[in-house]
Each structure stands twice: as structure tokens, then as C-alpha cells.
């Protein structure tokens, strides 16, 4: 899986301010029941070996028929003011669920942010800040900044060790 495009703050494009889009392509068929998690929680944001848990996680489940490999998918994260709406395009046959424990939303920051796409696991959000774990597979990571370097903020993280840096 690869990220092919990220757009933050889609307000100038006619959507509400802070709305985001992220497009990605899968190299395998997406079959009914496939679960994909997309998060802007960072890896080792504040604690070595652990995920952040203050931002958003959108769980996407394929409930429709198989979608062939090579199809580009787009997650629309729309700021509705008091809440957020998450939809997939093509959005027929997808179930999107916001599963963030601290009420954080998937909202990419214009000043820099990371995106991780994961599958096949469950989250343990822990009892403190930035102490989440995930037991599935990290499929890909994307950073809107030029370097991967955690700095204790929500806008920067380290690169997960299962991924190779690509420049």
C-alpha cells in the first residue's frame, strides 16, 4: 500500500476549514471484511516503542464486494464544527468508524503531520498519554515534513521500525 496524495485544510476547495483528504492505493484486492486503520497518531511521539493516543484513528471496513488491486481510495475527513465525518471514496460498501480513545479526530495539520495505515490488529490505548500499542501490521507511513523525528508534539513522530525510509 502506498499513499499517493494528501491534502490538508480543504477550505479553499469548498469544504469546511481543517477538512482533509488522503488517497492511497493497495497492491492487493480488498475483499469483504478487510479492516484498515488510518491514524495521525505518531509512532514514538513521546514514548519509545509506543504509539500516540491523543489524535484520530479511523477504522475502515470493507462491507461491499471485492475491490481490485490498483484502485485508488480516498478518505475524506470533514470538519462539521462540533464533530467530524469520515467517508471513503469510492464510498459505497465501506463502513467507517472513529475509534480514538481520547476523543481526538483524524485531522492532519498544515504545519506538518504523519499518517500511518495499519491492518489486522487491535489497539490497546493504555492508561496514560502516548502509551498505545497495536498488534497488527503497519502497512505504510507518510510524513508531510522532510524528516521523521519525534519531538513530543502531535505533529511529528519517528518512522515505525517495520518501514524503510523512502525519499
The overall average pLDDT reported for the chain is 90
Cα–Cα dist 108/45, whole Å: 15
The pLDDT, as a whole number, for residue 166 is: 63
Query: Is 91's pLDDT higher than 80?
Result: no
Q: How sure is the predictor about 51, in pLDDT bands with cuts at 50, 70 and 90?
A: very high
Average pLDDT over residues 111-125: 92
DSSP 118-165: EES--EE--SSTT-BEE-SEEEEEEESSSS----SSTT--BPPTTS--
The pLDDT, as a whole number, for residue 42 is: 93
* Residue 36 β-bridge partners: 60, 119
Average pLDDT over residues 120-124: 95
The pLDDT, as a whole number, for residue 146 is: 83
The pLDDT, as a whole number, for residue 75 is: 94
Amino acid at each position: 500500500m502506498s499513499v499517493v496524495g494528501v491534502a490538508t485544510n480543504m477550505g479553499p476547495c469548498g469544504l469546511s476549514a481543517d477538512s482533509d483528504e488522503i488517497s492511497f492505493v493497495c497492491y492487493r484486492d480488498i475483499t469483504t471484511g478487510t479492516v484498515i486503520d488510518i491514524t495521525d497518531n505518531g509512532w514514538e511521539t513521546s514514548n519509545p516503542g509506543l504509539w500516540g493516543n491523543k489524535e484520530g484513528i479511523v477504522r475502515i471496513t470493507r462491507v461491499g464486494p471485492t475491490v481490485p488491486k490498483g484502485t485508488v481510495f480516498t478518505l475524506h475527513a470533514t470538519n462539521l464544527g462540533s464533530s467530524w465525518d469520515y467517508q471513503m471514496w469510492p464510498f459505497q460498501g465501506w463502513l467507517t468508524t472513529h475509534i480514538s480513545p481520547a476523543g481526538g479526530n483524524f485531522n492532519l495539520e498544515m504545519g506538518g503531520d504523519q499518517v500511518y495505515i495499519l491492518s489486522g490488529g487491535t489497539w490497546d490505548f493504555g492508561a496514560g498519554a502516548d502509551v498505545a500499542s497495536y498488534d497488527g501490521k503497519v502497512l505504510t507511513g507518510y510524513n508531510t515534513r522532510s524528516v521523521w523525528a519525534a519531538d513530543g508534539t502531535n505533529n511529528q513522530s519517528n518512522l515505525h521500525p517495520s518501514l524503510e525510509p523512502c525519499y
